[in-house]
Structure 1
Amino acid sequence: MRLTLKLTTYFKMLLLIIGICSLFLLLFLSLYLYVGQQEKDVFKVNSNQYKTEVSKLFDFNSKTQVVTINDLTYWDSLVKFTKTKDTVWYNTHIVNEFPTYEVDYIAIYGLDKKNIAHTSNPNFKSNNFIPVQAMMHLYKKKFSKFYMRIPEGVVEVFGGTIHASNDPKKVKSKPAGYMFMARILNQKYFKNLEDMCSSKIKFLDKKVIPHNIGNKKVTSIIELRDADNLVVTKLFFERPSHLNFEKTKELLLIIVIATLISLISAIHYFRKWVYKPLKLVTTILESDREISIYQLKKEPGEFGYIGNLFEDHRKNRSQLEKSKEKAEESDKLKSTFLANLSHEIRTPMNAIIGFSDLLLDEKLSDEFKKKYLKIINSSGKSLVSIIEDLIEMSKIEAKQIAPKFKGVNIEKCLNELFNTLKVTIPDDKNIRFYQQESNFKLTNDILTDEIKLKQVIINLLTNAIKFTENGHVAFGYSVFSDQKFLEFRVEDTGIGIVKKDLNVIFDRFRRVEDDYSISLSGLGLGLSISKAYVEMLGGEITVESVFGGGSVFKFTIPLRYDVTVHEDDESLPIMAFNDTEGKTILVAEDDNINFLLLKTILQKKKHTVLRAKNGQEVVDINASNPNIDLIFMDIKMPVMDGYEAFEIIKKETPERIVIAQTAHSSAEVKERILKAGFSGYITKPLDKEKIFELINKTFQNNVIS
Structure 2
Amino acid sequence: MNNKKSYIPIKVLISYLVLAALFVGVSWFLYSENRGFSETESKAAKENNKILKVSNLLSNIYKTESLARITIQSDSEKDFKNYISKTDSLKVEIDSLKLLVTTQYQITLLDSVKLLLSKKTNNIKELKSIKNKSNDEAALKKAINDLTKMESSLRKLQLEDFIRHPEELGNYQRNVLKKYVAYLNENIPDDSTNTLSKKESDSIITVSKTLLNAVKNATLKKKYTLNFEENKLLQNELLISDQLRKVLSIIETEIIRNTTRNYLEKERSLKRNNQIVTIAAILGLFSTLFFLILILNDFSKTQSYKKQLEEANSTTKKLLRNREQLISTVSHDLKTPLNTIVGYTELLGNSELTKKQLYFAKNIKGSSEYITKLIQDLLDFTQIEAGKITIEKLPFSLYDVINEVAKSIQSVYEQKPIHLSIDIEEVFQNKIIGDPFRLRQIVTNIIGNAFKFTSEGFIRIEVKANIENHFITIKIEDSGIGIQEDKQQLIFEEFTQANKNIEKIYGGTGLGLTISKKMVEILGGKLSLKSVYGKGSIFEIQLPLLFDSSPSSASKNPVIDHSSNKLTAVVVDDDINLLNLTTEILHQNNFKVLSFSNALAALEALENNPFDFIITDIQMPEIDGFLFLKKLKESTIINFDKKPVIAMTGRTDLEREIYIKAGFADVIRKPYSPKILLEIIDSILNNNESHTSTNHAIEQGEDSTKKYSLTSLKLFLSNEEGALKELLLPFITSTKENLVVLEDGISEKDILKVRETAHRMGPMFKQIEAHEIVQILSDLELKESSFEELGVKFKILKTAIVSLFLLLEKELN
Q: TM-score range by the shorter chain?
A: 0.3 to 0.5
Q: Which has the higher strand share?
A: 1
Bigger CA radius of gyration = 2
- TM-score, normalization by structure 2: 0.33
TM-score after normalising by structure 1: 0.36
- Which protein has greater RCO, CA pairs closer than 8 Å, 6+ apart? 2
